[in-house]
Structure 1
Amino acid sequence: MESNGHQRRVSLKPTPPVPGTVAVFVIEDTKPSFHSFLPHMALPNQQTVDYPSFKLVIVGDGGTGKTTFVKRHLTGEFEKRYEPTIGVEVHPLDFHTNCGKIRFYCWDTAGQEKFGGLRDGYYIHGQCAIIMFDVTARLTYKNVPTWHRDLCRVCENIPIVLCGNKVDVKNRQVKAKMVTFHRKKNFQYYEISAKSNYNFEKPFLYLARKLSGDLSLHFVESPALAPPEVHIDLAAQLYFEADIAAAAALPLPDDEDDAFD
């Protein structure tokens, strides 16, 4: 059938069954827009909203800034005190795009290995993911493949973003040329800084574009964030971007550990 001058194709694709929920169906529209999707069903710890929503799983070692990353958007305040996340916290983050409103239900999982038995249950029905490491701590990057393997064991073929946090810190240990895992697995990498707001929205924008299939999608409003506590000037930003571009042109090492030589 036709609507507003373009064709619309309705395909009956029930969402994965979850106890206590009902299946919904997707309307596929040839005109890219978030409005071509019916609201997704409510998953555990999620509310039903009348616009597209997605379960976003954020994983990584403890202390890499996962909870800070989420709460920065929610409260507009940087979390100065770190407390290991126990279990999981689910935070709804709304973004306004040129195609309409979208919500990410951010599942902040336990980064500490002693809570590892809880992880798989929180990955179930994940629709996208962020893997985070700390550029000032090499071990957090070397553990990225483990997080990726755990994630993909439960969630297959979902869009993933790798984030290197704390690029505002001077004593950086993980250089851009060392970060190669995303290239081997063909997903996106961004360097971010919670304290300076640098590249803070890019992971969400990338995931929104992948989920919508619309590369022209963009945010029309920015979430309220507190003023940056540190400043990354334009010259530094350009240096970061050039460094990443140069790293992308380097041949991939045969083994991930080679990147640290």
Structure 2
Amino acid sequence: MSYDFLFKYIIIGDSGVGKSCLLLQLLDKRFRQKHEVTIGVEFGAKPIEVDDLNIKLQVWDTAGQEAFKSITRTYYRSAAGALIVYDVTKRESFNSVQTWIEEARQNGNQTMSMILVGNKTDLESMREVTTEEGKQLAKQQNILFIEASAKTGDHIDDAFIISAKEIIQKLKSKQIDLRDENCGIKKGANTQNKNTLQNSDDDKKQLNSCC
């Protein structure tokens, strides 16, 4: 399938928060009951449509264990977007979020779009982290926020669509330079819409005057 742009994403967070299940739900709309530890990095690709653009997501699921941190860091540099995932039923995983955000900012490019994802909302009776806490932390860090369930599929696609919209806005406002090999974005072969973001002066004015 042809596409207008390819966006590279990484999924980061503590081990056991459901990163691999989130990727599996995005790609295959299914859930794996048995937890299998990711060794290094896993990969998947998925086409989505955002703002009349055909976007190909290239998603890298990283291992959460300390032993694989050096491997994971190499994937930050050329990522356009990052999902920082925690488990709403495990306070400890939420407490680690700030460390993951700092890691992404230190090792990634300056234009990377980040979204905080509170996973496992299907386990509401076991919740240890409130929605408000997640929102507040995301606001403090100036990143996006959503809660989701890799088991039911609730808001999994939305997490990528919301962050992809932010990346597109950054393209329109020329915050992202496509000539930078580490921006995590590549132009596709689909020429029908490929020039949509080229003439973006009006869009930039609208973005600057918004809110």
**TM-score normalised per structure 1:** 0.61
Letter in 2 for 1:210: E
Residue 24 of structure 2 corresponds to 71
Cα offset, 1:159, TM superposition: 1.0
Give the 3 Å change call, closer, same or farther, for CA 89–49 of structure 1 in structure 2: farther
Per-residue deviation, residues 43-76 of structure 1 (Å, max 9, x unmatched): xxxxx96531011011000111111011112222
CA distance in 2 between partners of 1:162 and 1:62 (Å): 16
Q: 1:198: Cα distance to partner?
A: 1.7
Q: Which runs of 5+ in 2 are unaligned?
A: 171-211
Whether contact under 8 Å (1:56, 1:127) holds in the other structure is yes
Corresponding residue number in structure 1 for 2:4: 51
Aligned-residue offset at 1:178: 2.6
**Matched residue, 1:120:** 73
Q: What is residue 101 of structure 2 aligned with on the other side?
A: 148
Which residue in the other structure is 2:37 paired with?
84
Count of residues paired in the alignment: 167
Give 5+ residue unaligned stretches, structure 1: 1-47, 215-261
Structure number with the bigger relative contact order (C-alpha 8 A, sep ≥ 6) is 2
Aligned to 1:213: 169
**Does residue 197 of structure 1 match 2:150?**
no
1:134-178: CA deviations, max 9, x gaps?
000000000001100110012223111000001110110111233
1:174 paired with 2:129, answer yes
Find the counterpart in structure 2 of residue 107 from structure 1. Answer: 60
Pair 1:93-2:46 in alignment: yes
Give the drift of 1:116: 1.6
Q: For the Cα contact (< 8 Å) 2:89–2:129, is it kept in 1?
A: yes
**Seq. identity, %:** 30
Q: Give the corresponding residue for 2:206.
A: none
Describe the SS at the equivalent of 1:64: coil
Q: CA RMSD in A?
A: 1.8
Rounded to whole Å, the distance in 2 between the matches of 1:98 and 1:132 is 25
Q: How far apart, in 1, do the equivalents of 2:65 and 2:39 lie?
A: 8
8 Å Cα contact 1:61/1:133 also seen in 2: yes
Q: Note closer, same or farther for the CA distance 1:176–1:73 as it changes in structure 2 (3 Å cut).
A: closer
Pick one of 143, 149, 158 that aligns with 1:187.
143
Whether contact under 8 Å (2:9, 2:60) holds in the other structure is yes
The structural deviation recorded for 1:196 is 2.0
CA contact (8 A) 2:29 2:153 kept: no
Q: 1:99 to 1:177 in 2, by over 3 A?
A: closer
2: CA distance, partners of 1:135 / 1:83: 19
Shift, 1:97, TM fit? 3.6
2:121 partner amino acid? V
User: Bigger shift: 92-101 or 109-118?
Assistant: 92-101
**Code of the aligned partner of 1:173:** E
Point out 4+ residue stretches in structure 1 off by more than 6 angstroms. none
Structure holding more helix per residue: 2
